[in-house]
Structure 1
């Protein structure tokens, strides 16, 4: 789904170029900087493998009176594959830090409201822990502080997580070999059908949006995807939640099979002052399955917390 946007890059110390996109709405490209500099800034952080159309409802809702930016992880979208092969969470946090600072320099110096989805939740929490002044408020959507169940303390849970990590690591060498078959599957009608059959995609998931997501995945380097997944399996950020002192919004999907509702409920318990929204008829693709509802909730949160003036109320 095409957007009107201006794309720029920041460069990591290893030379990897990280893309970030300013959504320009109806503003002519040559006036984007001057007209948007004073607008309230919003920065969108993806999930692993997520295509930009997942943000289309939030972008459509906010781009007319906000400066909305989304960025691409290493090996995703318009960003380079990592020059040094580093796809760790720490590397992603470094990149988010650089993008945030670049966005602030091109604006009025105000730190953005951060909206993170899935994997982006952990990346954002670690940025907050490192540089809280860059994260004045955040919306966390269908994402937890670590891999599924990492907050559980039981021996069985720890064994299950260790087995999952070993399986992901063990599969890494065969990923290049099977990637042609995976791409062929994603290009077929079977991919959508399998998502519906397994419950990963709900009936509300628009076929066109999911097809665009599959197309984006087919274009990705399989090594970049898998190394990013491996990075997510290392450590977690559950301890950061106790130190969060900024306005926070949690949005969960009742039928999410990727980030279990139990994980989101644990986030809610650890962030008792956070505003909570449970989308009852959506799964992990809730940003497109219930996009209008989520976008309106974000705007309402911004106004209700005093982050935006009341004139921006929905």
Structure 2
């Protein structure tokens, strides 16, 4: 497997090369001591949501980094990863990138078994696609605030005849305009008004930390808009619910109490269709629950990891 290494502040940034030549970045969060001390530990791989910034994981990193080989990677067009050289941002392509990262993580360490995977939002369907293809690379899964299929899969509006086709056409039409909207998006995401607006429409819970989320908004504004839009188009095509009944590893599903982006009904499908899945509903949280109730979520994940056979 071809890989590259770069030294960045606080961590060693590594890359795998995707099938189309795109360089996909990953690194290990360091705890007390250097990275080598944790190479014989079972890895835990973190998979983001669409445009999620690394600070979303800070509570989990604080909880686990000193005792766990905690690995973070970035989708193509996100973070330190390159934009797709082929223009391909399909969910199945993200899953293939995760497959290559997982193999690289396992090859780099001294732990012979499969890693545990923790996925947030869009990462849930990406992880399930990895499991469809290579279940041997998944020891256990934690699925947070994301469904197996596209967002709002359970909503009546998208079940109306022609609704999904119309949505696909609208996203396809807007794709040519999205790159030209980058300056406007940057101004909007840098605005101090976006946080209270998110609270007003219910996208953010009352406990949402303003500084952390404004960091996220600004990061979205600096993204390649074509990459963002193509990822969103692919997410709206996602369909991995057929994988659920065949899952044979321990699974923990963590759901926000009120989330306008990941409907409770979509997450409840995970609980009902994955055999033996554990369930946690976190009160007073929305889609940014990793920041809104990070210590509660992290403690529950720690307990889940300790209980793995």
Q: TM-score, normalised by structure 2?
A: 0.93
- Distance in structure 1 (CA, Å) of the matches to 2:38 and 2:18: 26
What SS is found at the alignment partner of 1:9?
strand
User: Do 2:60 and 2:295's aligned partners in 1 also have CA atoms closer than 8 Å?
Assistant: yes
Aligned-pair CA distance for 1:110: 2.5
Mapped pair 1:39 → 2:45: no
Moved over 6 A (4+): 152-155
Name the residue aligned to 2:17: 11
Partner Cα distance (1:132, 1:232) in 2 = 22
Alignment match, 1:250: 253
Preserved CA contact (<8 Å) 2:125 2:147: yes
Distance 1:253 1:12, change over 3 A: same
- Once the two structures are TM-superposed, the CA of residue 125 in structure 1 deviates from its matched residue by 0.3
Partner of residue 134 from structure 1, selected from 133, 137, 150: 137
Q: Could you give the per-residue CA deviations for residues 100-133 of structure 1, whole angstroms, max 9, x where no partner exists?
A: 0000011123221100000000000010010000
Q: Report deviation, 1:40.
A: 2.2
Alpha carbons 1:111, 1:136 under 8 Å: kept: yes
SS at match of 1:81: coil
Q: 1:105 aligns with which of 104, 107, 110?
A: 107
- Corresponding residue for 1:174? 177
Q: CA deviation at 1:173?
A: 1.4
**Structure 2 vs 1, CA of residues 112 and 3 (structure 1 numbering), >3 Å: closer, same or farther?**
farther
Structure 1 counterpart SS, 2:153: coil
Q: Which deviates further from its counterpart, 168-177 or 15-24? A: 168-177
Q: Does the 8 Å CA contact 1:37/1:107 hold for their aligned counterparts? A: yes
For 1:149 and 1:192, locate their aligned partners in 2 and report how far apart those are by CA, in whole Å. 23
Structure 2 stretches of 5 or more lacking a match? 1-7
- Per mean C-alpha deviation after superposition, the further-off stretch among 139-148 and 230-239 is 230-239
Matches within 5 A, 1:85-104: 85-104=87-106
Which structure dedicates a bigger proportion of its chain to helix? 1
**1: distance between equivalents of 2:156 and 2:199?**
33
Report what 1:206 is aligned to: 209
Decide whether the 8 Å contact of 2:247 with 2:275 is kept in 1.
no
Whether the 8 Å contact between 1:77 and 1:216 is mirrored in structure 2 is: no
Shift of 1:218: 1.6
Q: Alpha-carbon deviations, 1:160-208, whole Å to 9, x = none?
A: 3333222222211111222211110101101112111111111211111
Corresponding residue of 1:189: 192
**CA apart distance, 1:244:** 0.4
Q: Secondary structure at the match of 1:10?
A: strand
Instruction: Work out the CA distance in 2 between the residues paired with 1:240 and 1:102.
Output: 24
Displacement after TM superposition at 1:305 (Å): 3.1
Instruction: Please give the residue correspondences for 1:229-248 in structure 2 after superposition, counting only pairs within 5 Å.
Output: 229-248=232-251
Q: Which runs of 5+ in 1 are unaligned?
A: 307-314
Partner of 1:310: none
CA contact (8 A) 2:151 2:235 kept: no
Give me the whole-angstrom Cα distance separating, in 2, the residues matched to 1:159 and 1:221.
Answer: 30
Cα distance, 1:158 vs. partner? Answer: 5.4
Deviations 1:32-60 (A, max 9, x none): 2x311112210000000000000011111
